[in-house]
Structure 1
Amino acid sequence: MKRVLYCALALAMVLTIGLGTASARDQIRIVGSSTVFPFASYVAEEFGATTDYPTPVIESTGSGGGMKLFSQGVGLDTPDISNASRQIKVSEFKRCQENGVEDIVQVVIGYDGIAIAHNIDNPELALTREELTLAVAAEVPQDGKLVKNPYTHWDQINGDLPNREILVYGPPTSSGTRDAFEELVMEAASEDIDGYGGEYTKIRQDGVYVPAGENDNLIVQKLDKNTEALGIFGYSFLEENSDRIQGALIDGVAPKPAAISSGEYPVSRSLFFYVKKAHLGEVDGMEEYVDLFLSEKMIGDMGYLKGIGLIPLPKEEREAQRANWENRNNLQLSDIQ
């Protein structure tokens, strides 16, 4: 499926200030995660093609960037929905509340794994979370203290690893994938590495880890050209480009749908979107869009989104998400883990 980034010009044409009437803006405006973007785009295109509503406008801003826009307030100059590849943060929730975005519905759409990918022509690569952390951390423990990361090749970290340059193309700080990588890889590993003394998530800035923006397809293109490099992005991009790239084993587990949904793959996470309830009834089609997204047709075991890389929730969890949406249950601070 083509990932179509709707142009900023179209966005500017439909935005007006204030809630006013529904006719002030007749397109749903969605921002947020680059990982959720292909799934939301598929639903948006289907929504535009099968209903009388216009196709929603979607921006891939990253989870953090999307939530920053979403939390600015209530009004048609702000987004209606924000996609996220991790749960909303407490600080983001509080900023929403402070700015009048008091009623929010949280929706979980499925699971995703963070793939550590490289060129398909390379030999299979198996890494641990500890090795990944030592490769990308700004500092590493040596002789009882933390020093600037000296590692330039993988075999310097572990002699069993290949003599390949450490070069990692990954998400920027605005990305939920970056947040999840720091939590699921670096936080988890650094607690078990002698010398860190607890959680460590500071990523090196000496050119070894290269923030590659919010367009994960650009990382895939870089892995095509540089066979030594690794890329970090959501499983769906690995699935869609399996003829060009392969996923490294992490702690001995390959990024496969069954391992991701079971949690066996250690870098697995849930995917979300957040709905601004104050805009329901003000922007035509919002409720119908969410209904379509949560349908079995989209997120079910045989749904369209599974075909492009979404790992479905178990049936009972899908039903619980639909019930939560149908009841328009407000997200509470206590719900944030």
Structure 2
Amino acid sequence: MHKYLITLLMLIFACQSQARDQIRIVGSSTVYPFASFVAEEFGSVSRYPTPIVESTGTGGGMKLFCSDNSMDSPDITNASRRIKIKELDLCHRNGVKNITEVMFGYDGIVIAQDKDNAEMPLSKLELLLAVAKKVPNKTNDGLIDNPYKYWNEINPKLPKREIKIYGPPVSSGTRDAFEEIVLQYQTEEMKVYRDAGLKGYRFIRTDGAFIPSGENDNLIVQKLTKDKMALGIFGYSFLAENSDSIKSVDIDSVTPTAANIANKSYPISRSLFFYIKNDHKETLPAMEEYVAMFMDEAIIGMDGLLTEIGLIPMDTDSIELNMTRVSENINVSQDELEKAAAAH
């Protein structure tokens, strides 16, 4: 009798798990405000409950999404960078093989400070020299542990301000994208790193100058209003939402505006994504309606609602291309990811 009850309870739990009608979404803190907005809209106008959206960071979201293919796992994961090949491999090893990649807009990674500070434009190279764990020595013929404590030690034209940067943790897609664009892409082209066998070097210093500050980018904004000489790193939408208290730092003489990010003239720009677990669609019909709402031009188009909270929109052709991927259940592949990496 006891064994019969246990079996019955397990069957009931399994049926409840399979029968859920609420979408589960995890992933990027940068994408979180956009996904939360759409989830609330979806819950208010559809026949389905409001999706659960969790801010776990891009890396954390990928681990949860790829953990297994059962209905106990997330249905969608948000990402402020593309899925990595090793993450796709993890998904495949765990039976998560039918995954569609959806790009829905652009974002800039901004460097910001308290609004009352003097302007402090930086070059991408100066930013690298401030944050990299190993940097060129004075004669540029070898690498040393980063010795820089103040900005004027990097460039005498910069102020004597302590190098103190609040940024995302290693689980963050923003951190990944920042390391890739600011460190990796530059060190690939620098002879001193190639000669040291460190082409594509992307390690951030750990001596206290760069301070990982969690997945909630609003916390970094708050720190800048208290620690007024520090800089912070986060997505453009958080700058747009907090322009009354913080301002951006120009990079390579370009201000991070919506227009400059969209046309890629701002040098630390990136695309935003979410990934769909297609095998869940049959059991969870709400997924198709949620994705259709998210990708509607009224939401992500040039005058879409998400542009009001900082999304940089794609053109109509790009939206239609990504909706074709959704409607045809096109799976993201390793070949596709390798080609994208080679084309940077």
Q: Which of 27, 31, 34 pairs up with 1:32?
A: 27
Q: Distance in 1 between matches of 2:21 and 2:110?
A: 37
Q: Distance in 1 between matches of 2:273 and 2:300?
A: 12
1:55-110 per-residue CA deviation (whole Å, 9 max, x = no partner) reads 11111111111001101111122100000000001111111111110101110010
After the TM superposition, which residues 283-322 of structure 1 pair with which residues of structure 2 at under 5 Å, given as runs?
Answer: 283-322=284-323
Q: Distance in 2 between matches of 1:23 and 1:84?
A: 26
Q: Which of 107, 117, 124 pairs up with 1:129?
A: 124
Partner of 1:324: 325
Partner of 2:154: 157
Q: Which runs of 5+ in 1 are unaligned?
A: 1-15
- Aligned 8 A contact 1:130 1:193 in 2: no
After the TM superposition, which residues 129-148 of structure 1 pair with which residues of structure 2 at under 5 Å, given as runs?
Answer: 129-142=124-137, 143=139, 144-148=141-145
Q: What count of residue pairs does the alignment treat as equivalent?
A: 321
- Aligned 8 A contact 1:70 1:79 in 2: yes
1:218 matched to 2:213? The reply is no
Q: Select between 290-299 and 277-286 the one with higher mean Cα deviation.
A: 277-286
Q: Which of 35, 44, 48 pairs up with 1:49?
A: 44
- Aligned 8 A contact 2:18 2:71 in 1: no
Q: Which of 81, 90, 103 pairs up with 1:86?
A: 81
Partner of 1:3: none
Partner of 2:101: 106
Taking a change above 3 Å as real, the CA distance of residues 128 and 193 of structure 1, as seen in their structure-2 partners, is farther
Question: Runs (4+) of structure 1 moved beyond 6 Å?
Answer: none
Q: Distance in 1 between matches of 2:97 and 2:180?
A: 27
Q: Report the CA distance between 1:22 and its aligned residue.
A: 7.0
TM-score of the pair, normalised by structure 2: 0.90
Q: Select between 192-201 and 230-239 the one with higher mean Cα deviation.
A: 192-201
- One-letter amino acid of the structure 1 residue matched with residue 100 of structure 2: V
Q: Report the CA distance between 1:192 and its aligned residue.
A: 4.4
RMSD (Å) for aligned C-alpha atoms: 1.5
Q: Which runs of 5+ in 2 are unaligned?
A: 1-11
Q: Distance in 1 between matches of 2:329 and 2:84?
A: 20
Q: Report the CA distance between 1:281 and its aligned residue.
A: 2.2
- Aligned 8 A contact 2:17 2:72 in 1: no
Q: Distance in 2 between matches of 1:17 and 1:209?
A: 46
- Aligned 8 A contact 1:22 1:282 in 2: no
- Aligned 8 A contact 2:220 2:232 in 1: yes
Q: Report the CA distance between 1:193 and its aligned residue.
A: 4.4
Q: Report the CA distance between 1:150 and its aligned residue.
A: 1.1
Q: Which of 56, 64, 67 pairs up with 1:69?
A: 64
- One-letter amino acid of the structure 1 residue matched with residue 228 of structure 2: T
1:175-200 per-residue CA deviation (whole Å, 9 max, x = no partner) reads 11001001111112223445222222
Partner of 1:9: none
Taking a change above 3 Å as real, the CA distance of residues 187 and 23 of structure 1, as seen in their structure-2 partners, is closer
SS in 2 for 1:92: helix
- One-letter amino acid of the structure 2 residue matched with residue 262 of structure 1: N
Partner of 2:283: 282
Percent identical pairs in the alignment equals 53
- One-letter amino acid of the structure 1 residue matched with residue 212 of structure 2: P
The structure whose residues are more often helix, as a share, is 2
